[in-house]
Structure 1
């Protein structure tokens, strides 16, 4: 499970409205019949129109400054292994979203406990992903992409009469480079924007910055997990515990769908990797045989060279070069969301 929380982008290229983001989320419905479309939903409603989403989020911004985010978004990316546990991606991910938002509400630190009924949100299930610049496949194909682009530019110059050369030979070279690129899908070089094959269902959630009554600010972007401050002479509790939310999101999924989560799929493992890579690799090596084998398999599918992990359980200190190579491989996998953590 790979979950991100993002605030509204506020600069000269973005409006104060949620309209552009809603339009972006509607892109997958293009050229689909009504029966095939995925609609917005929330805790209690189905088939909510994009017009209603825009009106409700844009109209729930009392006392917020232009420089303050009006909404936040959560993207929930289940791994391929997690998706295989589901029978009906659309319906079961909706069910999961409604339970997840209870975890989200419970992660706020306030004088009065926050419930899901305090959260104004709208969610949408998508079933496609495309390759982006951070993906390992794009990065490792980049040198080929650069050479192909240069050759195509040379062909255009020759066709325009601004250069001399053999166009046929250049086109043959391009064809060869297309075949040699290390990452292919359906016989084609993987490029940015290409849809990813396999199950790619994921969830987008838009949350208003203000509570349902348009009175209180509920910001998951708070730098505090739990703190207290004095405001207008009154003690105020504030904060959002991301650690608690991310851990609860996994537990909720596992309980709903009887999913047995491997160590490398956990938020705890990801955090350990970032803060203490040596401990991360030591824990991997010390897992029970079956769990360790599955962990290596999951990492291997993400493009990590797991041969570097085959060390004795009691050998905590890895060679520096091997450690750096592992950090690089696992780090890229985490960034691209290809490991479900």
Structure 2
């Protein structure tokens, strides 16, 4: 499970309203008949319209400055292994989202009217998306780029010849384009993978738009708080403040495992991701010390995400890998983490 929290973009041309973001989340519904559309939902209701979401989020911003985010975007990104485990069920993902938002509420170190924050205090709307498309940062696009560049140059030459600006053999140029299309290293259904092409396999994920203010429009609940969960003295009173992202990520992961009896491998855990970022050597060491079956699964998951696990089999004393091997592993695992392909 790969979870992100992002504040509303306010700089540049971005508007104060949630309209642009909600419109973006409606993109998969374009051209679909109503029964096939995915609608917004909240903790208790389904089939909420985009117009209602915009009205509620935009109308829940009391006393917020123009420079302050009015809402946050949360994405819950299950790995393909997790999606296969739940049979890529949108209904299962909705149920999970509602439980994960309970974990979100609990991560606030705040009191509302003398009690801890509850999920019913959170104004949010969520939507299941079923597809992902290839982007410029994906390995497939980057490795195919030299071929894409040459193809574009040849296509420009053909247009130039057709306009009478230059002379040349159009048929030969077209054959060269066809050859380059075939030789590109990453193909899907016999076609070169390009930006915007739908990714194969289960790709479902959840987008959540959550208001900065609670449902009463009185309290600010910011998951982007610069303060971790803590208590401070203000005007002679002890005041709770902050949001514990680590607790939210860990608990949301545990919630998925408990709900669906999912056996999570070490490399899929949030703890593993934190270990990798802080101490890569310890991360590699932990993998090599896993029980045989779990280690085999860890290697399988890493290999699927493009990591060269042969480097982890180098015979050493306390996993004292060479600098070259460590850097190669860090590069591969870093890209896998960024794409969420190993679910951490």
TM-score (norm. length: structure 2): 0.95
Using the alignment, how far apart are the partners of 1:234 and 1:251 within structure 2? 35
* Corresponding position of 1:192: 195
Structure 1 gaps, min length 5: none
Alpha-carbon offset, residue 11 of structure 1: 2.1
Using the alignment, how far apart are the partners of 2:158 and 2:11 within structure 1? 39
SS in 2 for 1:225: coil
Aligned equivalent of 1:210, options 203, 206, 213: 213
Q: State how 1:161-180 maps to structure 2 within 5 Å.
A: 161-180=164-183
Q: Which moved more, 1:251-260 or 1:312-321?
A: 312-321
- Residues 141 and 181 of structure 1 are in contact (CA less than 8 Å); yes or no, is this contact kept in structure 2? yes
Q: Deviations over 1:151-180 (max 9, x none)?
A: 222222222223333222222111111111
- Residues 129 and 195 of structure 1 are in contact (CA less than 8 Å); yes or no, is this contact kept in structure 2? yes
Please list every run of at least 4 consecutive aligned residues from structure 1 whose deviation after the TM superposition is greater than 6 angstroms: none
Q: Deviations over 1:279-308 (max 9, x none)?
A: 111111111111111111111111111211
Distance 1:159 1:261, change over 3 A: same
* Corresponding position of 1:219: 222
- Residues 88 and 204 of structure 2 are in contact (CA less than 8 Å); yes or no, is this contact kept in structure 1? no
Q: How many residues align?
A: 341
SS in 1 for 2:67: coil
* Corresponding position of 2:50: 50
Q: Which moved more, 1:34-43 or 1:99-108?
A: 34-43
- Residues 5 and 75 of structure 2 are in contact (CA less than 8 Å); yes or no, is this contact kept in structure 1? yes
Alpha-carbon offset, residue 232 of structure 1: 6.1
* Corresponding position of 1:26: 26
* Corresponding position of 1:90: 90
Distance 1:313 1:82, change over 3 A: farther
* Corresponding position of 2:281: 278
What is the aligned-residue RMSD (CA, Å)? 1.5
- Residues 134 and 335 of structure 1 are in contact (CA less than 8 Å); yes or no, is this contact kept in structure 2? no
Q: State how 1:47-126 maps to structure 2 within 5 Å.
A: 47-87=47-87, 89-111=89-111, 112-126=115-129
SS in 2 for 1:211: coil
- Residues 130 and 204 of structure 2 are in contact (CA less than 8 Å); yes or no, is this contact kept in structure 1? yes
Alpha-carbon offset, residue 338 of structure 1: 1.4
Using the alignment, how far apart are the partners of 1:24 and 1:53 within structure 2? 13
Distance 1:231 1:171, change over 3 A: farther
Q: Deviations over 1:233-289 (max 9, x none)?
A: 654321111111111111000000000000110111111111111111111111111
* Corresponding position of 1:297: 300
Q: Deviations over 1:175-232 (max 9, x none)?
A: 1111111111111111111001111111010100001100111111112212344556
Structure 2 gaps, min length 5: none
Alpha-carbon offset, residue 125 of structure 1: 0.6
Q: Which moved more, 1:59-68 or 1:32-41?
A: 32-41
